[in-house]
Chain A
Amino acid sequence: MSTKLDFSVLLREDYPRLIIEGIITMLQLTGYAWILAMAIGVLLALLRMTRNRWAERAVALFVEYHQNVPMLVQIFLWYFGVPTLLPDSVQLWFNQRHSEFLFAIIAVGLCMSAYISESLRSGIRAIPGSQMEAARALGLSYLKASRMVILPQALRIALPTLVSHTVLLFKNTSLAMVIGVAELTYATREIESQSFHTIETYLLTTVIYLGISLLIMAGGAMLENRYRIKTR
C-alpha cells in the first residue's frame, strides 16, 4: 500500500493482450446484446399496442419476470439450466461455439429488452390519442401514422431512458464474468491474481468502464439536443 503506483506492471507478461481482448469481448457482448434487446424490445412494445388481451398479458409477464429477477440469476438459469433441456447434439453445438458467450448475450439481451420495451411503451403512451386521430383524419394509414407521426415523437420522449438503459446494459455485461466469459472484469481479476498489483489493475479497468459509460451518456445527450423539437 505504501509503495508508489507503478502502471508499467500492466505492460509486463501478456497483460496488455489480456486487457485488449477483454475490452473487445466486452464491446462485442455489449453490441450483440444491445441489438437483441432493441429488436425484442421494439417487438414487445408493438405487441403491447395491438390491444389484444392475451398478447398484452404475455408481454406484461415477460417484462415483470425480467425486471424482478436479478440478472445474475437469469444468467445462471440460461447457462447452467437451459442447456440441460436441449438434446445432446444441440448442447454439443453450443459447447463448441463458446456457449458461455452466447448464453451471456441471450441472458443480458432478453433482460434488457424488457426495460427497453417499457421505455418505448411509456414514450408511445405519452403521445395524446388525438395525434393518431388527426393523422388518420388526414388520410394516413395506421402504419403510416405510427411511423411518421407517433414514433418520431415517442422515440424523442423515450430517448433519455433508452440511453440510461444502454449504460445499464453495458455495465451489466460485467456479470458475464461469473460464467467464465473473458471480458474486461474477468481479465482484470486474472491480472490481479497474477501480478498482485491490485490498485493499478482495478484503477485502469474502472477508468475504462467509466470512460465508456460517460461516452454513451454524452452521445445520448448529443442525440437529444440534435433531435429536440424546438418550441417557440
Chain B
Amino acid sequence: MIIDIFHILRDNWTLLLIGQYPNGPLGGLAITLILSVAGLLLAFPVSVLLALGRVSPLAILRAPAIAIIYTVRGVPLVMFIFWVYFFVPLLIGTTISGFTTMLVTVVIYEAAYLAEVIRAGIEGLPKGQVEASRALGMSYLQTMFKIVLPQALYNMLPAMISQFVSTIKETSLGYVISVNELTFAANQINSTLLTKPFPVFVMLALIYFVLCSLLTQFARWLERRIARRRSGGPRVATAAVSDNAAAAITAA
C-alpha cells in the first residue's frame, strides 16, 4: 500500500501541488493555501470589528454582532457555501467563480470564529488594564485600540494559528462546488485510477496531516513562549509596549 502511495504521488505530484498550471488553471495545494491565507487575512479586520461590537457597552452595536456570530456558529459551513453560491450572483448581477464563492464563504465564516477568539483575548485581560488606561484620561476607543487590542491580539496569536488550521480544513469543502483545490484534485486522481481509493485518500489525509500538524506544533510552541513572557519569566530585551503597560500598573 505504501508503494501504491509513492506511485500515485510520483505520477500526480504536479496535479496535487499546482493543478494543471501552466497549461490550465492553478489548483491543488496551491489553491488550498491561497484560499486559506487570503480568507483569513480578509476575515481579520471584519473579526476585530465584530469582537469590538460583541464587547461593546452599547446594545445597538452588541446585538447585531451577537446575532451574526451565533448565526455563523449555528449553521453548517455547507449551507453558507450554497447561500453564497446562489445569492452573491443574484446580488451583483454576474456569475462568480467557485474560487470566489469559497473565498467569500471562508471570510464570513472565519470572521465570526476569529471574533470569538479575539473576544476571549479581550476578556482574558485583567480589568486593571482598562481601568488604568481610563484613569490616565484615554477615551474608550483609545483604550481599545492602544491598550486592549494590542495585548489581546498578541496573546491570541496561537489561537489564531489554530484558526488558520481550521481554515485549511474548511477549504476542503470547496470540493462540493468543484473548486479546484487539494481534495478535488485527489478525487480527480481517484476517478482516473478507479481501483485505488484507499491509497489515494490515505495520501490525501497524510498531506493535510503533515501541513496542519506542523502548524499546530508551531502554535503550541508560540503559546508556551507567550505564556513564559506573560508570566514574568526571563524578559526579552525588546519588551513590547503591552509589557511596559503591565509593569507600570504593577508598580503603581
Minimum CB–CB distance from A208 to chain B (whole Å) comes to 10
Q: Which residues of B are found within 8 Å of A213, using beta-carbon distances?
A: 73-75
Q: Which residue of chain B lies nearest to A76 when distances are taken between CB atoms in the complex?
A: B201
Contacts of A64 in B (CB 8 A): 209, 213, 216
B212 at the A interface (CB under 8 A) = yes
B-facing mask of A75-108, CB < 8 A → 1, else 0?
0110011101100000000000000000000000
Contact of B71 among A174, A177, A210 (CB under 8 A): A210
A214 within 8 A of B: yes
* A32 interface residue (CB < 8 Å to B): no
Nearest residue, chain B, Cβ from A80: B197
Max chain A CB contacts within 10 Å: which of B175, B183, B197, B202? B197
* CB of A73 within 8 Å of the partner chain: yes
B136 to chain A minimum Cβ distance, whole angstroms, is 33
The answer to whether A172 has its CB under 8 Å from any CB of chain B is yes
Nearest-neighbour CB distance to chain B for A41, whole angstroms, equals 19
Shortest C-beta distance, A10 to chain B (Å), equals 16
Per DSSP, are chain B's interface residues mostly helix, strand or loop, or mixed? Answer: helix
Question: Interface residues of A, CB < 8 Å — how many?
Answer: 38
Contact between A73 and B78, CB atoms less than 8 A apart: no
Q: Which of A23-68 touch B at CB < 8 Å?
A: 64-65, 67-68
Flag if A69 contacts B82 (CB, 8 Å).
Answer: no
Residue pair A73, B172 in contact (C-beta under 8 Å): yes
Q: Dominant SS at the A interface?
A: helix
Contact of B76 among A81, A209, A217 (CB under 8 A): A209
Question: In the complex the two chains form, is B79's CB within 8 Å of A205's CB?
Answer: yes
Q: Per a CB cutoff under 8 Å, which of B168, B175, B190 touches A72? A: B175
| A210 contacts across to B, CB distance below 8 A | 70-71, 74-75
Looking at the assembled complex, report how far the CB atom of B67 sits from the nearest CB atom of chain A, in whole angstroms.
11
A172 to B172, CA, bound (A): 13
Do A68 and B76 touch (CB < 8 A)? no
Question: Which residues between 199 and 236 of chain B lie within 8 Å of chain A, taking CB atoms?
Answer: 199-202, 204-205, 208-209, 212-213, 216
Interface centre among B75, B90, B165 (most CB of A within 10 A): B75
Q: How far is the CA of A82 from the CA of B165 in the complex (A)?
A: 26
A174 and B79 contact, CB distance less than 8 A: yes
How far does the alpha carbon of A74 sit from the alpha carbon of B202 in the complex, in Å? 9
- Residues of the A chain whose Cβ atoms lie less than 8 Å from the Cβ of B165: 68
Which chain B residues lie closer than 8 Å to A202 at the CB level?
79, 82-83, 86
- The distance from the CB of B245 to the nearest CB of chain A, in whole angstroms, is 29
| Chain B residues within an 8 Å CB radius of A68 | 165, 169, 208-209, 212-213, 216
Assembly CA distance A174 to B172 (angstroms): 14
A165 close to chain B: CB less than 8 A: no
Q: A209 touching B74 by the CB < 8 A rule?
A: yes
| Shortest 10 CB-CB contacts between residues of A and residues of B | A213-B74, A68-B212, A81-B198, A70-B172, A174-B76, A70-B169, A80-B197, A77-B201, A171-B76, A210-B74
